[in-house]
Amino acid sequence: MAFVSIRDLRVAFDGVRVLHGIDLDIGKGEAIGLVGESGCGKSVTWLAALGLLPGKARVEGSVTLDGQQLIGAPRSQLEQIRGARIAMIFQDPSSSLNPVQRVGRQIGESLRLHRGLRGAQARTEVLRLMDMVGIPDAKRRIDLYPHEFSGGQCQRIMIAMALAGQPDLLIADEPTTALDATIQAQILELLSGIRRETGMALVFISHDLGAVSAVCDRAAVMYAGRIVETNDIRSLFAAPAHPYTQGLLRAIPDIDASRARLVPIEGTVPDPAALPTGCAFAPRCPRNSQLCQNYAPDLKPQSAGGVVSCFYPVEADQTAMSQRQEVWA
């Protein structure tokens, strides 16, 4: 069995279903990207797995970690798993860091909670972690407050806090969205390096396939509460089979602003309370047909590897090749 195995995960809020049966496996040490526009269910998937959704959420299906079932697990068990085995970092570090507590103390608190470290031993480990995440002059800065650090450095401190419990899996939910492009690239490099060094698995949640390709081996593309395509990063870029994946590739922001490559996908993600009858992407899809409007396609294996849910998947043909050249140019 895979290290993390998600099977038929479904979530509804007040009778409105927002996740429609997610299946996903993650291997030990694997880095997987979860990609899609806002509202497609990327965060809810992991919040459900970790028991962090509000009480009104109805969660069904299965998520196992090393064979241990997380859905419906007692709160005490989930609290133990969070931080120690699975850690999560979010988009905005300023909302996660305590503004009136010194950063060293905050990292130290994670060490105490998850590894029982205290006093001098904890302080040495805090310094090591700050060093590991690239905070210069850690000895002096350990006693500073969050507002004395830049946004990028606060995100590094959040990463240090997440690593304090030596997790087997780090879930990074849009960790670089609030940062400018240069800092974003540095944080992505940091996450990649840490993963290589520690061997932990990484789930990288983002709406940006470009950022995902910088850190992940594989990606799952989500749309309207479903996975619509999964493949390794190279194949996904070389031959995106789902029209939505193609759209996301065209929408990758270009760091070099002199080349206007960004082509947003027309239309908007449907409201979960008013999903179309057939394929949820059909109203925005250039390949839309009567069949797509009447039936939702299942995920099917592709000849080029990976799985895709589309009645008319794009072949790995010349179009995809030229798109790849454009993307890598």
Map residues 270-299 to x or -, x wherever contact with ligand ATP holds by CB under 6 A.
Answer: --x---------------------------
Residue 232: strand pairing partners: 218
CB of 244 to ligand ATP, least distance (A): 13
- Cα 133 to Cα 117: distance, rounded to the nearest angstrom: 19
The yes or no reply on residue 268 touching ligand ATP (CB under 6 A) is no
CB of 7 to ligand ATP, least distance (A): 18
Identify the DSSP state of 40: S
Give the residue, chosen from 54, 99, 136, 264, that forms a contact with ligand ATP under the rule CB under 6 A: 54
- Cα 113 to Cα 107: distance, rounded to the nearest angstrom: 10
Beta strand 57-65 with 4-13 is antiparallel
- Of 58 and 324, which has the nearer Cβ to ligand ATP? 58
The yes or no reply on residue 308 touching ligand ATP (CB under 6 A) is no
Give the residue, chosen from 4, 6, 9, 18, that forms a contact with ligand ATP under the rule CB under 6 A: 18
Give the residue, chosen from 22, 35, 40, 49, that forms a contact with ligand ATP under the rule CB under 6 A: 40
Number of CB atoms found within 10 A of residue 102's CB: 16
The answer to whether 214 and 185 have CB atoms below 8 angstroms apart is: yes
Element spanning 176, H or E: none
Q: Could you tell me the two tokens for 326? A: 């454009």
- Of 130 and 252, which has the nearer Cβ to ligand ATP? 252
The answer to whether 152 and 186 have CB atoms below 8 angstroms apart is: yes
- Of 91 and 106, which has the nearer Cβ to ligand ATP? 91
The yes or no reply on residue 218 touching ligand ATP (CB under 6 A) is no
Q: Is 248 exposed, middle or buried (0-12, 13-18, 19+ CB in 10 A)?
A: buried
The answer to whether 304 and 260 have CB atoms below 8 angstroms apart is: no
CB of 325 to ligand ATP, least distance (A): 29
Region from 42-50, 66-74, 145-153, 310-318 binding ligand ATP, contact rule CB under 6 A? 42-50
Give the residue, chosen from 33, 39, 104, 165, that forms a contact with ligand ATP under the rule CB under 6 A: 39
Instruction: Report the SS3 class of residue 274.
Output: helix
CB of 317 to ligand ATP, least distance (A): 30
The yes or no reply on residue 175 touching ligand ATP (CB under 6 A) is no
- Of 215 and 316, which has the nearer Cβ to ligand ATP? 215
Q: Which of 42, 122, 56, 127 is nearest to 88 (CA)?
A: 42
The yes or no reply on residue 36 touching ligand ATP (CB under 6 A) is yes
Number of CB atoms found within 10 A of residue 231's CB: 24
Binding residues for ligand ATP, rule: CB under 6 A, are: 13, 18, 36, 38-44, 54, 207, 272
